[in-house]
Structure 1
Amino acid sequence: MERIFRILDDTHTSATFFIIGWIAKTYPDLVKRIAEKYEIGSHTMNHQLVWEQSRSEFREDVSSSIKLLEDITGKPVKYFRVPGFSIRESEPWAFDIIKECGIEVDCSVFPAHHSHGGLPSYGKAMPSIIKHGNTTLKEFPISIKQLGNHNLVYTGGGYFRLCPYFLIKYWAKQQEDYLLLYIHPRDLDAGQPMIKELPLLRKFKSYVGLKGAEQKLRQMLTDFQFIDIGTANSKTDWDKAPIVTIQ
């Protein structure tokens, strides 16, 4: 976290931190420190994938994390991102629960296939209004690059670590209307211990590109100016945003 603070300070970048509840419970002083300068959103209490839970379990996972974060910071929690982009076509009810828990802006949609989920039928990655039944929810989906018949994610996590920076910069410049960038603290920690027992593919996904990730992120935040979710929300003309109906 100290590394992330330095990077944001050095590049004069605002950010939104999506925090897992059990981590907030373990490190409340760190959460307070983040909240003094940056926005905070929920990343659920236990980081369980949506489709591994019942509706009641997911509701408790989301609502309990929001209450905890609000108790620690004294500020309302209005933003949310689901663990692992794990809302699939078969779990549209998750958006109902997210809205019921008081979330105003969601960042959970992965508009492509994903090992944990994804909504490949979502359409273009841009600020949108999700509609499911009587639920409407503002959505900032993860950015994608269309290559032939495939949608490629390149602006976050292992995708960001894996892609060479010249490609990231080139593709990002083509996304003049909307670009969302995310990072995990571990994505920047080249000194973390390696779990040797992991399967080879999982090991590749977890550790590829760690050594160059910090410099890559610094360059990205120097070449482009990013804003936090709250600022993006206020700058978006939601009356003109496309409505994505999810059955």
Structure 2
Amino acid sequence: MERSLVMLTFDLEEFDIPEEYGQKVSEKAQMEVTLDGMYRLLAILDMHDIRVTFFTTGHFAKQNPELIRRLASRHEIASHALYHSPAHAFEEKDILHARGILEEISGQIVKGFRMPRLAPFNRDVLRKWGFRYDSSLNPTWLPGRYNLLKENPLPSVTDGLIELPCSVTPWLRFPLFWLSLKNLPAGIYAWLCVFTLKKRKNLMLYFHPWEFANLREYQLPGYVKNPDGDRLASKLNKLIYELKKRNATFVTCDTYCDHWEQNKKPVV
């Protein structure tokens, strides 16, 4: 019987989203907010004894090496470029720089990449530099952000690079990303995930550790900020329980790629 595989992924980055709404946050505060959410998140992952993938910026890793080493002892560390903030212009060479930082600190070989904000970039550089997979595609339509309905919503491989798209529902391409967990009732979001997993036998879900921090002091839109902290952690906890009830297996992205190669075809 074919296994149902779930990739829980977290973009481990500086808390810079207030910049999108005209607010300045010191680097110290950016790190503190992410760390606050991180330890709340780790309690859930440890309780459920599951492994996940952390797409981590090189800058965050340099500022928090002990945390990265702790995560690497159990979870996968993948690259989220060098910086997350748009204040730092992205350059292709940053991909190599960030990977070097992550590998030195974590002791892992970094095989995966996710572009900050899932922005367009030249994937050929990932192939050239020996990455195994990319997860920078959200094959949905969101006004002002994505118009990617023509993209393949299923895992695929091109010239040796595996593309692991963020999950959308089989119909309507409804995105199952972080804003959906926040804004949908927990039962409806879990049902959409279970339905998609049943149809496709895989889920790629992504969130951010800073979401699980206390964000009340920041002037962010309600759909970005609420719920936060313990309330959001409770929703994630319920989601994991629901997926476990369906005998889902939680794997890192790299482990999913192992499954891919063993089966010689994508799980759809």
**TM-score class normalised by the smaller sequence:** 0.7 to 0.9
Residue 33 of structure 1 and its aligned partner are, at CA, apart by 1.0
Cross-structure match for 1:195: 218
SS in 2 for 1:152: coil
Q: CA deviation at 1:193?
A: 4.3
Which fold has the larger relative contact order, with Cα–Cα distance below 8 Å and residues 6 or more apart in sequence? 2
Secondary structure of the 1:58 match is coil
Q: Which residue of 2 aligns with 1:245?
A: none
Matched, 1:152 2:179: no
Equivalent residue number for residue 121 of structure 1: 150
- The amino acid across from 2:70 in the alignment is R
User: Cα distance 1:26–1:193, how it changes in 2: closer, same or farther (>3 A)?
Assistant: farther
Name which of 57, 66, 88 aligns with 1:20: 57
Length, aligned pairs only: 218
Q: Secondary structure at the match of 2:71?
A: helix
Question: Is this contact kept in 1: 2:215–2:225, CA < 8 A?
Answer: no
1: distance between equivalents of 2:119 and 2:236?
25
The correspondence for 2:105, drawn from 68, 72, 77, is 72
For the 8 Å contact 2:79–2:110, the answer to whether it is kept is yes
Work out which of the residue numbers 189, 200, 206 in structure 1 matches 2:224: 206
Q: Distance in 2 between matches of 1:24 and 1:164?
A: 34
Residue deviations 1:70-127 (CA, integer Å, cap 9, x gap): 111222100111111112xxx5xx110122232101111110124444532113x222
Instruction: Indicate the SS of the match to 2:173.
Output: strand
Q: Does the residue aligned with 1:180 lie in a helix, a strand or coil? A: strand
Partner Cα distance (2:74, 2:98) in 1: 20
Q: Which runs of 5+ in 1 are unaligned?
A: 243-247
**Superposed counterparts of 1:67-146, under 5 Å:** 67-87=100-120, 91=121, 94-114=122-142, 115-117=144-146, 119-123=148-152, 125-129=153-157, 131=158, 135-146=159-170
TM-score (norm 1): 0.80
Amino acid at match of 1:153: P
CA distance in 1, matches of 2:170, 2:162: 23
> What residue ranges of structure 2 are gaps of 5+ in the alignment?
1-37
Corresponding letter in the other structure for 2:178: G
Specify the alignment match of 1:239 in structure 2. Answer: 264
User: What secondary structure is seen at the aligned counterpart in 2 of 1:172?
Assistant: helix
